[in-house]
Amino acid sequence: MNNNVMKNPVETGQINSSDMQTKSVGNKSNNSWFNVNHIGLKKNQSDKNKIFIIKELVSNAFDENINKCEVQLTWSSEGTKIKVQDDSPEGFKKLADAYTLFNESYKANDTSKRGRFSYGTKSSLAMFKEAKIVSTKGTILFKSNGTRTKTGTKTEKGSIFEGLIKLKKVEFEELLDLSRTIIPPKNVEFVINDNLIKRSNTHSVFTETLPTVTIDEEGNFTPSSRVTEIELFKSLDTNYICELGIPVVETDIPFTINVNQKVPLSKDRDNVKPAYLKKLKAFVLNHTHNDLSEEELQTTFAQEALEQKESSAEAIKSVIDAKFGEDAVVYDMSDIEANKKAFADERQVISGSQLSKEAWSRVKEAREQYSDFALPSGQISKYAKPEFTGGAEEVDVDDKMQEVVDYAKFLHQQLGFGSLSVTVHDGSGALASYGRGNLQLFFNVLGRQWFDLDTNKQEILELLIHEFGHYYSSDHLSRSYYDGLCRIGAKLTILKV
pLDDT of 389 reads 55
Domain closes at, from 243, 258, 290: 290
Q: Is the pLDDT of residue 6 over 70?
A: no
- Residue 385 in any domain: the answer is no
Last residue of a domain, which of 132, 165, 196?
Answer: 196
Task: Say if residue 271 is in the same domain as residue 168.
Answer: no
C-beta separation of 41 from 133 below 8 A: no
Q: Are residues 45 and 174 in the same domain?
A: yes
**Whether 107 and 130 share a structural domain:** yes
Q: Identify the pLDDT of residue 215.
A: 76
Query: Do 127 and 155 fall within a single domain?
Result: yes
Whether pLDDT at 218 is above 90 = no
Establish if 387 belongs to a structural domain.
Answer: no
Same structural domain, 104 and 231: no
Q: 13 and 137 in one domain?
A: yes
Pairing of strands 204-215, 160-165: unpaired
Which residues on adjacent β-strands are paired with residue 330? Answer: 350, 376
Residue 20 pLDDT exceeds 60: no
Contact 139, 132 (CB under 8 A): yes
User: Does pLDDT of 304 surpass 60?
Assistant: yes
Predicted confidence (pLDDT) per residue in 421-453, tens digit: 998 887 766 788 888 778 888 887 677 788 899
Asked if residue 374 is part of any domain, the answer here is yes
The pLDDT of 477-481, averaged and rounded, is 87
Please tell me the least confidently modeled range out of 107-116, 132-141, 248-257, 384-393: 384-393
Average pLDDT, the chain: 85
Is residue 484 included in any domain, yes or no? yes
Q: What is the pTM of this model?
A: 0.74
* Residues ≥6 apart with Cβ < 8 Å to 37: 13, 14, 15
52 shares its domain with 146: yes
Residue 2 has pLDDT above 60, yes or no: no
**Is 388 a domain residue?**
no
Identify the domain boundary among 165, 196, 227: 196
* Residue 216 shares a structural domain with residue 342: no
Write the pLDDT tens digit of every residue in 158-191.
Answer: 999 999 999 999 999 999 999 999 999 999 999 9
Total tally of structural domains belonging to the chain = 4
Confidence of residue 105 (pLDDT cuts 50, 70, 90): low
**CATH for 473:** 3.30.2010.10
Same domain for 38 and 118, yes or no, is yes
% of the chain exceeding 90 in pLDDT: 59
Q: Based on the domain organization, do 415 and 365 belong to the same domain? A: no
Tell me the residue range of the domain where 137 lies.
Answer: 3-24+31-196
Residue 393 lies in a domain: no
Q: Can you tell me the distance from the alpha carbon of 497 to that of 492, in angstroms, rounded to the nearest whole number?
A: 6
pLDDT surpassing 90 at residue 121: no
Residue 384 within a domain: no
State the average pLDDT over residues 372-384.
Answer: 90
Question: DSSP letters of 377-432?
Answer: GGGSTTTSPP-BPTT--B----HHHHHHHHHHHHHHHHTT----EEEEE---BSSE
Asked if 40 and 159 sit in the same domain, the reply is yes
- Co-location of 148 and 164 in the same domain: yes
